[in-house]
Structure 1
Amino acid sequence: MEDIGVKAPTDHVESKVNVGDLKNDRANKILSEAAGQRIVLTPENNSRVLKKIDLYILPVVLGIYFLQALDKATLAYSSVFGLVEDTNLVGHEYSWLGAVVYLAQLVAQPLIAYALVKLPLGKFLAVIVLLWGVSLSVMPAAHNFTGLLVCRLFLGLFEAGVAPAFIALTQMWWRRREQPVRLGAWYAMNGITNIVGSLLTYGIGHIHSSSLRPYQIIFLFFGLITVVFSVVVWFFLPDSPITAHFLKGEDKLVAIERLRANNQGVDGTEWKWAHVKEATLDIKTWLWAAMMFTISVPSGGISTFGPLIVKNFGFDPFETILLNMPFGAVQLIATMGGAWAATALKLKSPVLAFLSLPPIAGCVMLLHLPRDASAKAPLLVAYYLISVYPGITPLIYSWSAANTAGETKKKVTTGALFIAQCAGNVLGPNLYTTGEAPLYHRGLLSNLALFVVLIGLYAAQVFYLIILNKKHGRTRENMGKRAVLVDKSMNRVQAAATTTDGAAEDQDEDMTGHHAFDDKTDWENEDFIFVY
């Protein structure tokens, strides 16, 4: 029997394909066609394939999310350069321009969840990137609330598939140990956006045109960049490891085998209503959705009103844009630092609790500090403390992604989280109004309460996951398996010891990845291990 890679790895799992049910996951078909080979995951081939995946997939993903964050942020940037005054926005109208993007995304989620199961992922992303770029490019033609609202509605509708698709991409390409950093990397583009976007907006704001106002140039410039990038996505982002052009021969098999320990599958195209029911009945789905709603309320408010809050500290428009750059730097550090800590600890809940503390302190400071020239510095410190919150969202997504299996259940669960996120982002901007400037007392007080609630939700979820792990342990024991298993998806791939005759010691007699590509849910697969 031919071996792929060196023998005797600790994570060695010899592929045993359920040929009788190949429709469960397309990975089963690929492995069945390689039935004459023994697929062995080693530190060497794992590292080689991981580098290829990071090189070919991550840049495209980061580019998409950078542009999405930038395109949504154009509203906040434009508000500093006269959008509110020139288009005669009053009352909650500006708030609704921020909220309508998420309202459209919320309504679209059931269709998105179905489309992510049935459509090729790479091509799906390319098309929606093109369409939201067009939506932003036509915004300079809108001169009143109605026109701007329609453009923002379509922007939100076409952006609705990005975050759910990225969760699917992360589960499809990376092991559970690797997921927090990759999820953190694309979400950290929010921080890069605040830095690069602020610099670009600062430059665009100095352009004097007889036909276009600075905020109109901002819309057109960023929209056209997005349209061009959609071509890159179409040609360079593969639909899955199974169709990836950059994976040849054994590398394709290794890319699939890397994901066996996840027990989450790779690429299934069958919509299963039983998975939908299970996702709906699963308490952890709703706990993560509650977390996502709770963090998204302050996120929606601060992302929409952040520059206006800083401007009301006593800065002019150009100073305000430049002072938004440290906000982005803190976001970047919090997001990547949180992802790194979660990977190192192999735990997400303690890191999430820690990241919730600085925003609490920041909200308290903004609620109690005076708004005068002498308090500018501490007010900025408070604002930057709040800017730690973006590190929370990708870890919640990562925590959910690592604990959900079954192709349809994964998409439904992600959809539920994104609906909750959209709902929070709809409510968030409406807790702030331009009429409450400069204190924004109602918005900040509600944000403070929600950051505290988050910590309680983390604790409740950990308790429930412990119960699920114990339940699986009893099931395995009744089946004659080990009650306690090692979660290899959270470990590095390492070489194992060999016996005196040179044969590999079988460290995986329990075959924890036996059902990895059978499209079983985390409830159905007794070998699934829930992570905290």
Structure 2
Amino acid sequence: MQPGKDSPNTIHLESTPDQHPQKDPADDARHMRTDGPDGITAAPNDGPFALRDKAAQFLKQADHPVVVTPADNARVLRRIDFRILPIMLFVYCLQSLDKTTLSYASVFGIINDTHLVGEQFSWLGSIVYLAQLVFQPLIAYSLVRFPVGKFSATMVFCWGAVLCGMSAAHDFGGLLAARFLLGAFEASVAPTFIAIVQMWYRRKEQTTRNASWYSMLGVVNMLGSLLTYGLGHIQSSLHPYQIIFLFCGAVTVAFSAVMFIFMPDSPMEAKFLSKEDKFIAVERLRMNQMGIASGVWKWDHVLDCMLDPKTWLWFSLMFVISIPSGGISTFGPLIISSFGFDNFTTILFNIPFGAVQMIATLGGAWLADRIKMKSPVLLLLCLPPIAGCSILLSVGRKPSDRAVLLAGYYLISFYPGISPVIYSWSGQNTAGDTKRKVTTAMLFIGASAGNVIGPLLFKLNEKPRYDRGLRSNLALFVVLAVLIVVGMGVIWMLNRRQAAKRRALGKSEQIQDLSMVGRKEAAEDGDDSNHLDETVGDKAFDDVTDLKNEDFIYVY
């Protein structure tokens, strides 16, 4: 292990002929790999599993050592951000807007116009998530087997077309059918985006990228409220909510064509990158120990996922947070209206809700990235919703209480910052292509089930206090905090087991997780060679699960 001469911050890890007696030296040149915050080059494993991931096959095409310098890493990351992130941000903004059109429609009379009674409006909120729950296994399989970019663009087109058609629904049955189809096609969006982030970014970079697209919920609650306010004033033979459905659906259909053309299916197939930059884009992900894409569905990964206690932890976390999420997203405008505001004032007062959402989402991701841990940030984000629910339950509904009630409602709106941190916590602790997709499906099965239940905890006849729904939400945020502490214990035990495996194999018991270290930290630590073993990363592109890779380090 020697400091490299390419740059002051480049380190080369070289295997001796005795370690790989069957290797052709020319083959070593084709398979040199890099990683580390400031660039590390090493020969990869040539074992029987080396070609399990498409990334390993792609790197075979390199006819020279692939060295990722700090400058190369920053340049390629910039190009990836400029191409991938804008598409994801806009699509998730559309998805969030399309999904929340029902809550805006409730303010503009859809309940009376379509003769909804009893819990029918609540079921219109729940049916979207019920459809997402049903279709998650199919989404997981599709994400492994089909090109990610084109698959996602097709789903975007389908849900936009359904939303346009929803404007023709005039009763509960028609609305229920349209909302079910909307949920079926929208079921792919968040799992696809999690897969895209895992495919393109290092573990240290994933939290802020997941938070970026998820923060569009806050943008929608701000701009969507203003958009709805404007559309609601259009004088037409159509009802205001029909205009909202048509406008949002048409924009979604139009953008699906943009996504189909410009969203690449993987780093190996990215037309916006040169051949050399593709090698860098792939190689920089080696120390994630997660692979990129295999295209092969593996049932042993499915079994590994089902037997992994972490899977059920992620499922439980998403289920618990999604119950209040589903209830508040459906009944939020009605809760504000219950404070004594008219329709248009209600829409305008929903704008700060979106601003707080965005601040909580991006702020939580920034803090998690800063401290390199997710669990303490999740615990911190549980506190404001607990306080907000307590305020709404304890304060009366007199006109003089409106300011305090709004403050409580805005405190609850910190909850959207929780979900993207859970996505990243799960994604950064799972390896193997099929296992990652199945684990993500389990997250969204939990999320969908929670979102089905959430709106049903609120009843229109409980206006203005909605005590049952708010009490349930308060209890669930407390349960969420308990589960996060349990998760910290699970991660601690798994890291101890991984260290024991490395010791038994004669490897270094303590290794540095380079996928979570930035260039600044590396420079402060000095020579990275003090922390690295030359075999670390050998299984990175073997498409093995985290439990089968002793070099995998779990993140708190």
Check 1:302–1:254 CA distance in 2 against 1; reply closer, same or farther (3 A cut).
same
Query: Could you give the per-residue CA deviations for residues 282-304 of structure 1, whole angstroms, max 9, x where no partner exists?
Result: 11110111010000000000000
Is the partner of 2:350 in helix, strand or coil? helix
Worse-superposed segment, 506-515 or 192-201:
506-515
Let me know the Cα RMSD of the aligned residues.
Answer: 1.7
Contact 1:295 1:451 in 2 (8 A): yes
1:495 deviation in Å? 10
Contact 1:9 1:495 in 2 (8 A): no
Q: TM-score, normalised by structure 1?
A: 0.96
Return the letter of the residue paired with 1:153. Answer: F
1:435 deviation in Å? 1.1
Check 1:505–1:152 CA distance in 2 against 1; reply closer, same or farther (3 A cut).
closer
- The CA distance in 1 between the partners of 2:417 and 2:284, in whole Å, is 27
Q: Does 1:9 align with 2:10?
A: yes
- The CA distance in 2 between the partners of 1:166 and 1:352, in whole Å, is 21
User: 1:201 pairs with 228, 231, 253, which one?
Assistant: 228
Aligned to 2:430: 404
- The CA distance in 2 between the partners of 1:252 and 1:4, in whole Å, is 23
Check 1:530–1:496 CA distance in 2 against 1; reply closer, same or farther (3 A cut).
closer
Return the letter of the residue paired with 1:156. Answer: G
Is the partner of 1:339 in helix, strand or coil? helix
- The CA distance in 1 between the partners of 2:218 and 2:289, in whole Å, is 32
May I ask how many residue pairs the two structures share in their alignment?
523
Q: Does 1:354 align with 2:380?
A: yes
Is the partner of 1:182 in helix, strand or coil? helix
Is the partner of 1:347 in helix, strand or coil? coil
- The CA distance in 2 between the partners of 1:4 and 1:255, in whole Å, is 22
1:433 deviation in Å? 1.2
Aligned to 2:108: 81
Q: Does 1:420 align with 2:421?
A: no
- Which 4+ runs in 1 deviate beyond 2 A? 3-10, 17-23, 493-497, 503-511
Query: Could you give the per-residue CA deviations for residues 238-262 of structure 1, whole angstroms, max 9, x where no partner exists?
Result: 0000000111122111111111110
Is the partner of 1:523 in helix, strand or coil? helix
How do 1:111-510 residues align onto structure 2 when only pairs under 5 Å count? 111-209=138-236, 211-493=237-519, 508-510=532-534
Contact 1:9 1:496 in 2 (8 A): no
Is the partner of 2:271 in helix, strand or coil? coil
Return the letter of the residue paired with 2:408. Answer: A
- The CA distance in 2 between the partners of 1:4 and 1:124, in whole Å, is 44
1:8 deviation in Å? 4.6
Is the partner of 2:269 in helix, strand or coil? coil
User: 2:547 pairs with 512, 523, 528, which one?
Assistant: 523
1:9 deviation in Å? 2.5
Contact 1:9 1:493 in 2 (8 A): no
Unpaired segments ≥5 residues, structure 2: 12-35
- The CA distance in 1 between the partners of 2:228 and 2:400, in whole Å, is 28
Contact 1:26 1:268 in 2 (8 A): yes
Check 1:247–1:15 CA distance in 2 against 1; reply closer, same or farther (3 A cut).
farther
Is the partner of 1:527 in helix, strand or coil? coil
1:511 deviation in Å? 2.9
Aligned to 2:19: none
Check 1:16–1:22 CA distance in 2 against 1; reply closer, same or farther (3 A cut).
closer
Q: Does 1:49 align with 2:72?
A: no
Give % identity: 55
- The CA distance in 1 between the partners of 2:531 and 2:267, in whole Å, is 27
1:496 deviation in Å? 7.3
Q: TM-score, normalised by structure 2?
A: 0.92
Check 1:19–1:282 CA distance in 2 against 1; reply closer, same or farther (3 A cut).
closer
1:148 deviation in Å? 0.4
User: 1:29 pairs with 57, 66, 77, which one?
Assistant: 57
Is the partner of 2:310 in helix, strand or coil? helix
Return the letter of the residue paired with 1:30. Answer: F
Worse-superposed segment, 220-229 or 20-29:
20-29
Query: Could you give the per-residue CA deviations for residues 427-460 of structure 1, whole angstroms, max 9, x where no partner exists?
Result: 0000001111111010000000000001110111
- The CA distance in 2 between the partners of 1:110 and 1:346, in whole Å, is 31
Contact 2:511 2:533 in 1 (8 A): no
- The CA distance in 2 between the partners of 1:468 and 1:164, in whole Å, is 25
1:508 deviation in Å? 3.0
Return the letter of the residue paired with 1:383. Answer: Y
